[in-house]
Amino acid sequence: MKTTVKKYRIFLLLVLVYIALFFLKPDLFAKSTEITWKSLLEMLSVLPPIFILLGLLDVWVKRETMVKYMGEGSGWIGIVLAFFLGSAAAGPLYAAFPVAVTLLKKGGSFTNVLILIGAWSTTKIPMLLFEASSMGLPFTLLRLGLDILGIAIIAIISNKVLNANDKAEIYALVEKNG
């Protein structure tokens, strides 16, 4: 019981805040509930297709293939593939995390998974097209180049900062919970 309460303490705190809002500020409670409901519906519309695609990826792509193209020894092919997958992906950033877990389970390298998440968050192709049409191609190309450089630097530094035990713990959590 204690561990369950400790595990869900933030959720329970938010429930208490909602209850307090209901009595103290009903208008804020109503607005907050409306926003939460819209976010939940959006999440429910995005995640099922992602999970279906991940299930297909899990079944159709062999671990050996994933290791070859996205694993530790994949080199530039893995980096370019991670950037492309992240840039071409649809959906909000929270949809990238189940994809990242699946890639780690299938033998993808930690660096390539970080690159995929970074590309998913900043280099989406539709966003680049909109940005080029509204802000101009030079601005878009400059921002894209800086984003690619920043993502690569962050992924490399993160990979260097985490030691083998930290990475092993991450992979163990992925196997256990993923």
Q: Helices 75-88 and 125-135, interaxial angle, to 10°? A: 70
Q: What is the average pLDDT across 73-92?
A: 90
Lowest mean pLDDT of 91-100, 109-118, 131-140, name the range: 91-100
**pLDDT for the residue numbered 178:** 63
Per DSSP, helices labelled H in the chain are 2-7, 9-24, 26-60, 63-70, 75-88, 96-105, 110-122, 125-135, 137-161, 164-177
Average pLDDT, the chain: 90
Lowest mean pLDDT of 49-53, 68-72, 81-85, name the range: 49-53
Residue 177 has pLDDT above 90, yes or no: no
Q: What is the average pLDDT across 77-92?
A: 90
Q: pTM for this one?
A: 0.78
Q: How confident is the model at residue 74 (pLDDT cuts 50, 70, 90)?
A: confident
Lowest mean pLDDT of 89-93, 111-115, 151-155, name the range: 89-93
- Residue-wise pLDDT for 116-174, tens only, equals 999 999 999 988 999 999 999 999 999 999 999 999 999 999 989 998 899 889 888 88
- Residue-wise pLDDT for 32-41, tens only, equals 999 999 999 9
**pLDDT for the residue numbered 63:** 85
- Output the CA angle 123-124-127, nearest 5 degrees: 105
